[in-house]
Chains A and B, each alone.
Chain A
Amino acid sequence: MSDETTTGLSHRKLLIWVFLGSDCMFFASLIGTYLIYKGSGVLHPGPADVFDIPTTSVSTFVLLMSSMSMVFAYAYLVRDDIKAFRIWMFSTIIMGSTFLGFQVFEFSEFYFHDDLSPQTNLFGTTFYALTGTHGLHVTIGVIWLGIIFYSSLFRNTVTSKTNLDLDLAALYWHFVDIVWIVIFAVVYLFGTFTGFPSS
């Protein structure tokens, strides 16, 4: 059995890093578009009318904790402690799903109570495109982690020898976390800060 590659590194791991690098550019285009258009419309509502920072802070905390849970799952799998791995894996999936629940709640509040749809104004269009794309990434991550968890529970195919499979999923999961770190600061905090001289 040989692990030799031309780079001395796993091709699959190199590929996920290439993908994450390219996904940075994808999110950059969405964040850039949001920034340049959010204040250009004349129609309300705007960011300050709809964002609820305390609620989003809680969902941000949940996503950060899911990243911690994910590294614990990986650390215990590498140590062949399958029981602890499953507990932390399940916890990560629950926290990821909770974050998605927050997003569904937020979107429904904006849509039904604040009359903000993607067609309302440029802020709505770019906001839903950006956070919706991030939510889609989180959903894919939850499904990916769910498949690994299912494989561990019912097929016993997840062991320390196959930890690369979990490592790739974990890298993707942490990536959605770092994208949210940027979105939380740029979209939510900058978007509603009331201390700017013009506001």
Chain B
Amino acid sequence: MSVEIKNQSNHIDESHSHPKPMTYFKVAMALVILTALEILVFYFDWLGYGIIPVLAFLSIAKFAIVVMYYMHLKFDSKLFTYVFMSGLILATVVILWLMALFGWFV
């Protein structure tokens, strides 16, 4: 069984179709709009605690867009997604657990 990689190219993964530069530009514009929305809602004091789900949604959307398009997880092997998501889910649990331990939810 051969496990040696002699070629430094990435053509194993290049077999998947990656987006064109215009798609990357559109993604960037989406990120700018979402960031602008975040800053806009920040000044809406009347939202009260309602800002938490709004900002969480906008941040998660930006996070997902970068991971899917710029980091190519949407187009690459699912194994990369599983590896990264394992760390990300554990990370989220760590934050929530710490907050629960210190009485954030009571």
Interface residues of A (CB under 8 A from B): 1-14, 17-18, 20-25, 27-29, 31-33, 35-36, 53, 57, 60-61, 64-65, 67-68, 70-72, 75-76, 78, 160-165, 167, 170-171, 174-175, 177-178, 181-182, 184-186, 189-190, 192-197
Contacts and interface: CB of A to CB of B under 8 A. Distances in A.
B48 A196 contact: yes
B28 to A, nearest CB: 4
A181 B62 contact: yes
B12 A21 contact: no
Interface string B62-75: 11001101110000
A162 B8 contact: yes
Given A1-B7, A167-B10, A182 B25 contact: no
Summarize B's interface: helix, strand, loop or mixed: helix
Contacts of A2: 2, 4-6
A68 B27 contact: yes
Interface residues of B, number: 66
Nearest to A164: B10
Interface in B69-83: 69-71, 77, 79-80, 83
A3 B79 contact: no
A103 B8 CA distance: 35
Contacts of B2: 2, 4-5
Given A17-B84, A25-B94, A185 B9 contact: no
Contacts of B12: 3, 8-10
A24 B32 CA distance: 23
Contacts of A23: 87
Contact of B104 (A35, A174, A196): A35
B81 to A, nearest CB: 9
Summarize A's interface: helix, strand, loop or mixed: helix
29 contacts: A1-B7, A2-B4, A3-B6, A3-B7, A3-B12, A7-B79, A24-B91, A28-B90, A28-B91, A32-B99, A60-B35, A61-B32, A64-B35, A67-B66, A67-B70, A71-B69, A75-B20, A78-B14, A161-B9, A167-B10, A174-B71, A178-B66, A178-B67, A181-B62, A185-B58, A189-B39, A195-B47, A195-B51, A196-B49
B80 A68 contact: no
Contacts of B77: 7-9
Given A9-B12, A24-B91, A185-B58, 7 more contacts: A2-B4, A6-B3, A9-B13, A25-B91, A28-B94, A164-B9, A190-B55
Interface string B29-56: 0011001001100101111110110011
Contacts of B70: 67-68, 70-71, 170, 174, 177
Nearest to A190: B55
